[in-house]
Chains A and B, each alone.
Chain A
Amino acid sequence: MTNGWIDIKNTDMMLIMGGNPAENHPCGFKWPIEAKRNRNAKMIVVDPRFTRTAATADLFVQLRTGTDIAFLGGLIRYVMENNRIAKDYLVQYTNAAFIVRKGFKLPEDGLYSGFDAATHTYDKATWNYEEGGDLKGKPDTPGDGAPSANPPALPADVAYDLTLEHPRTVFQLLRKHFSRYTPEMVERITGVPKDQFLKAADLFTSIRKDGDTKKVGTIIYAVGWTQHSSGTQTIRTAAMLQLLLGNVGRAGGGVNALRGHSNIQGATDMAGVFDLLPGYLKVPTMADVDLKTYLTRITPKAAKPGPWNSFNYWSNTPKFAVSLLKALYGEHARKENDWAFHYLPKIDRRYSWAEIWDDMYRGHVKGLLAFGMNGVAIGPNSSKNIDALKKADWLVVCEIYPDETSEFWKSPGITTDEMKQIQTTVYRLPGAGFAEKDGTFVNSARWLQWKNAALPPPGLARLDQEILARIFLKVRELYQKEGGKFPDPVLHATWNYTDPHNPSLAEIAKEINGRALADVTDPKLNQTIKAGQQLPGFAWLRDDGSTSSGNWIFCGSWTEAGAQIQRRGTEDPSGLGIYPNWAWSWPANRRVLYNRASCDLSGKPWDPDRAQVWWNEAQQKWVGNDVPDFKPDSPPKDHMGPFIMNPEGIGRLFVPLAGMADGPFPEHYEPTESPIDNPLHPQQTHNPLAKRFSTPLDKFGSPAEGYNIICTTYRLTEHYHYWTKNNPMNVQLVPEPFVEIPAELADEMGLRGGEKIKVTSARGHYLAKAMVTRRIKSMIVDGKKTYQIGIPIHWGYRGIAEDAGKTGLTTANQLSPAVTDPNAYTPEFKGFLVKIERA
């Protein structure tokens, strides 16, 4: 979230799309309700189904799953055509006025300039700004433009036209790009009737009617947007819409990812994913032959119009990276060995979730450690994951309940004879439940909150950190005794915990915050942090080895003043729901990101009633109710951009160069399995960069083969993924798997509620009872009558209902395809094709 849960109460307008917070985040959903109760805020819900969230909405629009970009693109067009833009914000705080270099081509045919059909990648040299000066009133000359630098880089001095009239301004290109997303086109693609779309468009953008700059709107989404083959671009479309409306950085505004589980945000922050190191540092690649090459590659240089300023906070990257290496390898990270840079692996390709299973299936991955992660049930294409595990040498599962993954070898359909052929050794280790562990989660509002252990783990169950530490120290012992391949990082990783075999999470939390390894002085503040002291914040990090920090964005969370993450201050002096003394929020305890943008160019809040930060002329600094997300002493006249993490300092309507894999602007592509060709460009129906796999189990279905019903998957408020099927209370609330079927389709099939049905995709089938409902209606998509059905995912082959023989022992993800988004590598769990019949 750019903002936070409580902050939603400050909004005037909500677009909830690609998320169902009433269902999946009920306690957070009180804040949208508060906005309705206290501000008469309006709520628009756009979803393939009439959901629990829709039940409280002012306007519900049913949309075909996977067509969100078309809907949002239509909104962008509407905003521009009807002058519902926040003009000053747009010109001053986004790259609307930047000039794009010649040779850049919009995807009228479905492809941007630079596409290589052989590799399915883009040469992004043309996806860049033009260099040099104010082009206001200057005619555009023909030609292809200057050849790009190699490797391509952003120009330090970006050409611009603040009148936005130059034909190659981002604004004009944007207008042209989305001019195709007419209400009629939106209707053809999304199935949303034109009048309903216009009603939603008018309502959402009404906050900028007649030049109003006070009102604020928010966009709220979750995995309904991410789990598509164009998921990342969907979120970008929303961000662009919010930039056009001037809603980012403001109380009650922003682009708010609800995230899913308790520590999904933290797992991303802490680099639980292959392409990151802690604090969103990029993981090194094979081209990073030394630390300098790596840091040069990942440290951006400011790129902006001449008269403007850019903080370019990522210019501090070397300090973050060296401090991380010091935290990981201590005294073994020295200047002479490049701070142990080569202790870290260098990637040469994609190693994401779907690749793990594909490469295991191909025999490349031999061993898997799964700690609290049920990969078989989670899928996609669960049958492939089961077959992949059959080929592994070993599997270690740490869990609190018996799960599908640890029992893949006796999954339904495997005979005793087959079992004898499965050579995988499986260890199942009993871990600790949440109540038995302390430590922090990061919620979707970026709050780090410490929790306390209430009781010991039962039986022989152990704390997860104890299990991992004992395994790692045993491996280290083996390398010490026997040697082996490149033992240095294994031997030298810092492990100075009081009890190395069961490290205290408080000690680790302090290590993550970081400390001074030598005296560190800030001459400007005239302050020194003594060697050994906890650092007060990331501004103190150094790239000379004098500081260590396990994650720079968490620096400030456990300082000499104590554990900020344990704070329980309940005061909210501004009334904006900031709660500055409750726990701690990254970065630097600021609660709303980009909050400089909540003020006009002169540093005054757009809405004085919702004042977050402002420029104090007397003190010559930024002050306020929140921690300013800005260079504190940069006066408004210097025109420093509020989006300090971008090298341009502005919000990006156009993403230059490598920012996005599949285009500087979002474009609607059909889901991988779709009932129609793409009405925008039938010759390029799908995202050309979406990744498909090619094993015999990666099959795809089409309407011609009888797969003509759109299926989406989701979660219920009564259940939690594949966990609460072990909890009798939750099982009582929703006892059995079901599939939601439109009443109209059920009538056609002569199907009654409660009858058993079989849903089949090209990859597998799912057995459940039919829930016949009027909450999903048929749609006309590009002239074709189309049905959508929905499957809650919470069942598998181990659980209370499963063990009692009350289910079909199938998992919903036996249906879903392993196709991934080219930016976030998230699989397309939502929006694939199936057929249904009575079971």
Chain B
Amino acid sequence: MASKGQSTVTKPKRRKNVNNAGYFFILPFMIVFVIFSVYPVLRTLYLSFMNYKGFGEPTPIGFANYARVFQDKFFWRALWNTVKIWGVNIVVQLGLAFLLTMVFSDMKYKIKGLGVFRALYYLPNLIAATSVAFLFKTLLDWQYGSFNQILMSSGIIEKGAQIKWLLDPNIAPYVVAIISAWMWFGNSFIVLMAGVQGINTDYFEAASIDGAGRWKTFAKITIPLLKPILIYVSITSLIGGLQMFDIPYLINGKYAAGNPGGSLQTVVMYLYKFGFATGSTKQVGYASAIAYSLFLIILVISIMQFKFASRKDD
């Protein structure tokens, strides 16, 4: 009896031991995570309240860096550039993804080889950003790029009136937006398609029997049931989009000025300018404040987006 009692006492203990072993397993990740993620995040927060040139001792200056961010019209210009590029990109990207989803999920079309198409559409996302930027720089060069050559040989534009795709501040941001959309629509398509395949086909059959058309089925069944997926896609795209750096920087990154006319200077490029590109007059504290301001902006917009999307549910 006594031994039985003892055994019931030790049982939970044993379970505790198993848990401890689990901690050991996650330890390597945690160590790397703390050193390379948590520490830099906290250090950046600390530096955002400092005047720091990248060497020597930082001097505390309270919220001065944040006040400066708020008043800095170039920061707001960079934010507007970023939002503009992201906005056009997300419309094109989701538009394309939706169109493809409609086509591939349509019960009447019954398109074969979804797997092949999925892989094909996803391919641009596998190309390194550097290669993508170089590819489009070459294709869109105003003098010898293939785009203008085709337009000229087909008589749409005349020689001497070539379109400066990447050199005109009124065109370049939209070109970058389209490039981003081209890179990411396959990704959105895969996610949306997975969402659609998760919807019970009974709904579609029922709608079909009730005489709902293709568009009505899509608007009344597919979209409402895809909502959680849509929220996921738009929030992750927003977080990624507002941190845009690689393509605009590689297209015309000299001095991180975002030429032409500063129209390609995104917030992260602006941050980079102060943190890295100003040689011996770096302002690491200010760059940190820009980083946290961007973080706050993303946080606020994400919450708003989430609230807005879930409100309609009620």
The answer to whether A and B interact is no
B residues neighboring A (CB under 8 Å): none
- Interface residues of chain A, those whose CB is within 8 Å of chain B, are none
